Structure 1
């Protein structure tokens, strides 16, 4: 029997564990946009993001029986994907110097709109925002992996710190510390491009733009 798209995440995961071959596909399609956005911003380019997302989904597919319901299913899925991406970064010791992909704008709107530029008419504004976004993502690639993951979740995807802590499987204070250190380092890397930088303050403010309010549920699948 084909699972209903109205089934809850927990019901779909339980159906998958029970042997429903279609249930996991429905669950993945429901959260694909958000998972892709996190993977892309963590890895820095579509090719590695696709590999990280695939690793994460294979792991989730195989380990679904270990899910005990301590957190929401979507939190668990994000944890598995983030861990898969971090594993790839650690294994490869990724420190990219090449330009970020031209098609990043296309993917920025999938899931959270935290890092997508608002619509403007002035081409100069569009170019400036695009350059700033590229600079931010390039600077993110210079951070330690754990700081990058925390900033992507909290500052770019708009997750509450408590939920990011669940995804990263660490204490709330650890997420706050990683974000604080990451923001401070980003401010130094970005220099005058950091929107929160103020010459009159010894401590730079958050160099990342504030995230947009996250939707409660995004069920749209990419085309």
Structure 2
């Protein structure tokens, strides 16, 4: 009986040690991955990128300009449970993107020249884009996520004729418009709370659709 008791006690102690070790390993693994894309709730991303479009005067070729901006994303999947949060991303994506378009003959930065010539160009034209999108994605790994986004972009042009978007694009006045858009997102984590985001986007307009591509450095704030 004493031998049986000793064997039983040893087996219980071994099982307890294994359970404790397994629990510690799980906790350590959770701590190691904490702060990566699977835990992201709210993030802010400074953006750099390019806008490719057509204007009224060089409509046979695309024109491109550099752009700067900021995006803010909120992951609401946590409201649907921890499993949903770790595997999926669902929430609003908003922000702003600014570009100095200059005139049709300007360079990538919207300068040289930046004056009207023959009444056919838009001196000093600027564009402000305000995305109002819903983002839906899947976490392939702790540090890799692919997503799609869509909704609409609020477009402000300081000179409407700087871009051939709509029937009122011949105007030299400023103009606010709202157009539908769709695009994708590739988020790559490079450490806790930091990720690089690649975001192509197409805005659909009655005349000429235009493309945006941005690269963002995301900082998770929660």
Q: TM-score, normalised by structure 2?
A: 0.29
User: Which of 1 and 2 has greater Rg?
Assistant: 2
Normalized per residue, which structure has more helix? 1
TM-score by length of structure 1 reads 0.29
